[in-house]
Amino acid sequence: MNFLNSTATTFIPSSESEDSALARITHLGIGAHQDDLEFMAFHGIEACYRRSEKWFGGVTCTDGAGSARTGLYKDYSDEEMRGVRRREQDHAAVVGDYSAMIQLDYPSHAIKEPSNEDPIEDLVAILNATTPDLVYTHNPADKHPTHVAVFANALKALRTLPPENRPKKVLGCEVWRGLDWMLDSDKTILDVSRRSNLATAVGGIFDSQIAGGKRYDLAVEGRRIANATFYDSHSVDDAEKLWFAMDLTPLVEDPGLDPIEFTMSFIQRFEGEVRGALRTYF
């Protein structure tokens, strides 16, 4: 594919042609940073793993140059870290048996610039080439500004698609802010219990982050277990590990729906539940 950012890359782990590899993608993850997909969209990676009729494809929007680093990586320049993170992400695509891994390679500030429409145009091209059934991206209540920017760019791209080319489902997944606070009736529940070995393998590839000062591997595993254990206080667990998502499909189906008010509605319903519980006693 040709992208507006000349340093963007498309990696095809198999021997398939690029056009064929993109066209067969059924589950597409659109993440901000290298490793976001392996944590937030593992549900899709696992669902497609070694299935001939389902294929996962990944898009990472930023270049990874601004990553935190210590230990072995503490003296790496931004350019060196950018190269390491790119290789780690492509390696994860091999281990996870992705159909394609696209790295748009934008600096974070370019993704966060509202007037920059280049990432949106690139995402439109990807969506038209893949026409996935299910898209995973960041949720609009995430606390990481680059994650929120990627959500916004992805939504704007999705809204340009004709109805017949839109995904059947678009999910905004938790990463830098968990979605445990949402009402259970509002959550989309993703069972990520299967293939723990695969989850460990794809998540553990990102040594530059894990050994570089952030134990994301342990934190993600802990959240998955905690989500399952604390999901329902009155029954035994149906799954050992869960990941939560916000259903963003209405925002794509109705371009007139305000993303801010849509997001606030989840918070308002949460507030109403807390107020109602407290009014019983005060």
Question: Contact, 60 vs 34, CB < 8 A?
Answer: yes
Residue pointed to by tokens 């696209």? 102
- pLDDT value for 251: 98
pLDDT reported for residue 233: 67
Say if residues 245 and 175 touch (Cβ distance below 8 Å).
no
Residue 220's pLDDT is what? Answer: 95
The DSSP bridge pattern shows strands 187-191 and 100-106 to be: unpaired
Half-sphere exposure of 202 (CA within 13 A, CB side): 29
Residue 105: which region, alpha, beta or left (left: phi > 0; alpha: psi -120 to 50)? left
Query: How many other CB atoms are found less than 10 A from the CB of residue 98?
Result: 30
Residue 136, token pair as written in the block = 């995973």
Domain 9-279: what homologous superfamily? LmbE-like (3.40.50.10320)
**115-164 residue pLDDT tens:** 999 999 999 999 999 999 999 999 999 999 999 999 999 999 999 999 99
State the average pLDDT over residues 83-92.
96
Q: What pLDDT is recorded for position 213?
A: 72
pLDDT at 40 over 90: yes
Give the pLDDT band (50/70/90) at residue 214.
Answer: confident
Average confidence (pLDDT) over 33-46: 97
Q: Is the dihedral of CA 246, 226, 201, 142 positive or negative?
A: positive
Burial readout 224-233 (b: 16 or more C-beta within 10 A, e: otherwise): beebbeebee
Return the beta strands (E) in 63-185 as ranges. Answer: 100-106, 134-138, 169-173
Mean predicted confidence (pLDDT) in 179-199: 96
Give the separation between CA 105 and CA 8, rounded to whole angstroms.
Answer: 5
Average pLDDT (239-266) is: 97
